[in-house]
Amino acid sequence: MLFVELALIRWTAANNIHLAYLTNFVLLASFLGIGVGFLRAHSSRALLGLAAVGLSALVAFVLAFPVSLMRLSGQHQLSAAFGLQPLPRWLSLGVIFTLTVAVMGGIAHTVARTFSLFRPLEAYRLDILGSLAGIAVFSALSFAQLPPIAWGLIAAITVAALLGRAIRWWHLAALATVVVLLAIESTAPNQHWSPYYKIIATPRRVDHSLQVSVNNVPHQTAYPIRTLRRLEPFYFFPYRHVNRHRLDNVLLVGAGTGNDVAIALFEGAKQIDAVEIDPQLQHLGQLYHRNHPYASPRVSVHINDGRAFLNQTRTQYDLILFALPDSLTLLPGQSSLRLENYLFTVEAMRSARAHLKTGGTFVMYNYYERFLLNRYAGTLKTVYGSSPCIELGSRLGGRRQAVLTASLTGQTPHCLAYWHGRKLAPATDDWPFPYLRSRTIPRFYLRWLAAIAIASLLVIRVAAGPLGRLAPNLDLAFMGGAFLLLETKNIVQFALLFGTTWFVNSLVFAGVLLSVLAAIEVASHLRLPPPIFLYGTLAAALAVAWAVPQESLLALSPVPRFLAATGIAFAPIFLANLIFSQRFRDAGSSTAAFGANLLGAMIGGILEYLALITGYRFLLVVVAALYGLAFLTGRGRLTHTTA
């Protein structure tokens, strides 16, 4: 169940850029489907066949009606297959949401029917062990950079095995359709699957370039140095302001396919640390860049998150360059609200400044909207104490090419113009949303979240009967919402402390599930304190998590930082699951209770958007409030039971 959920979240976003706006859209649909599947556990009709048919329909729909960004300005920027106009967004996302609910609901119904054969905590233990296996397998496939056919084969074989003797020809036809369609996609020419993206890399012999798109968005083009000087001269602007004879150490964040590395070598850099988060992009540059910059002995490649590298390295640099590390933001601003972009916060800029040698220079460039240019320039002014040098280039739709340069000496050498604009509040480690103009939830999100909430209520009413049936498990629903927010907060915190990489996220997911498993084992074998004591201890753990500032953990060396972060992050999760396990053990119907908990988690996924206003730290207050509501609504069952 979890393996299919993770695969759908990643695969649908790779083929439909509308999902770049709502990064937890498929997650919410999955929670709804799983919750409904559990609430319908009493149904004698098996629904796993529905999952097989629904999965084939979902795969066929997404591949038949993809949504791509074809041009970065003007009309008709989006396109579907064969250059046709895409379906309306409401229709495209509506079908994906509905089919995802059907797929996950069919799988969850089978899980729920098996769930009821065990005692509640034993069933919960098996569910967590299976979830750990799902994360491990999906992480291994990501690490191996295998294409979707591998994911589809595993899902199809597992569903067929679970159907067993009940399998029919239409089930086999549906599963075969999934495998065939994903095989066709996976063998498309010039296509690569990294741990993060679907990458289309097209070498061009005419100009010796490599054109790269990721997740159906034009991303970057690797050009020879001679072509870059003619077409993209801004790459050379930073070297107007540095002493070429003192470029002993250069740090490039967002090295990509190698343009910036090639130019730094050309300009005389003696040693370059090239940081790129995506191994496949770096590998493509190594293979295809005309100037072969990654073959130089002066270049050290680091496959890592840029902020994490700054936290880990002790090297001091003559030049630090943030080299187009956010090219995907050429989409409208909302596309990056959910990226936890810690590279552009004021704390990140201070970290970069701390790694500059005396007289060192910091540079960042990209295509910026006016408000974004003002935000970044104002952040640099705050960090360096004077306005950065600004050099403007060509326009691209509503954005403009700009190079911002700041020097430790105050005044940037050979600068013709300094920034004098409206200073905006900077992004921070607690509010890492530079592409949001102000602390607000855009109407776009509010409309979609309202639509999801209304549709969910209707689906639950139709599939599970009167909503009043959920009342006995209302406290479990509040626990589900609180737990998802707590998990979200931990993923965000670990991304800041250790990098926004797929590996870190997988470890956090696994850590959360291991904490849950530990709580189950404790609840199964030990006599727990009264629930009111556990709630009080949880409140204290949440207070500690609130009181300890994240920047204090960043100041620690890696091992103490990991130990401190793990203790602060996972103590509330462990305690919360002691409460849940104690309550769940005595549930009258384990499937109804678990279904209510999962539907509550869906509400937590909606509440996560409060971070756009409050920042992530405030989510701990929301978590505490939800657990308080769980305590109040479930106080009639707060009895001290033995294991």
- The Cα-based distances of 267 to 221, 234, 250, 408, 617 in angstroms read 20, 14, 11, 21, 43
Dist. CA 154–CA 428, nearest whole Å: 41
Tell me the three state secondary structure of residue 355.
coil
Dump the DSSP string for 366-434: EEE-HHHHHHHHHHHHHHHSSPPEEEEEEEETTEEEEEEEEETTSSPTT-S-B------PPP-SSS--T
Strands 356-368 and 399-407: antiparallel
Of 378, 431, 357, 370, which Cα lies nearest the Cα of 398? 370
Of 218, 217, 190, 213, which Cα lies nearest the Cα of 203? 190
Q: What's the topology of domain 444-643? A: Growth Hormone; Chain: A; (1.20.1250)
pLDDT, tens only, 25-47: 998 999 999 999 988 888 778 89
Dist. CA 247–CA 270, nearest whole Å: 6
Average pLDDT, the chain: 89
Q: Which sequence spans correspond to the domains of the chain? A: 1-117+146-193, 198-331+346-407, 444-643
Cβ-Cβ contacts under 8 Å for 458 (sequence gap 6 or more): none
Domains 198-331+346-407 and 444-643 share a fold: no
What is residue 201's predicted lDDT score, i.e. its pLDDT? 96
Mean pLDDT of 162-187: 96
Positive or negative CA dihedral for 107, 113, 114, 116?
Answer: positive
Token readout for 163 is 């159907």
Tell me the three state secondary structure of residue 400.
strand
Q: Does residue 383 have a pLDDT over 50?
A: yes
Q: Identify the top-confidence range among 32-41, 322-331, 354-363, 471-480.
A: 354-363
What is residue 335's predicted lDDT score, i.e. its pLDDT? 35
Q: Is the pTM of this model over 0.85?
A: yes
Inter-residue contact 346 to 428 (CB < 8 Å):
yes
Dist. CA 306–CA 304, nearest whole Å: 6
Inter-residue contact 275 to 309 (CB < 8 Å):
yes
Token readout for 20 is 């770049």
Dist. CA 34–CA 206, nearest whole Å: 52
Q: Does residue 490 have a pLDDT over 90?
A: no
Mean pLDDT of 525-532: 90
| Superfamily of chain region 198-331+346-407 | Vaccinia Virus protein VP39 (3.40.50.150)
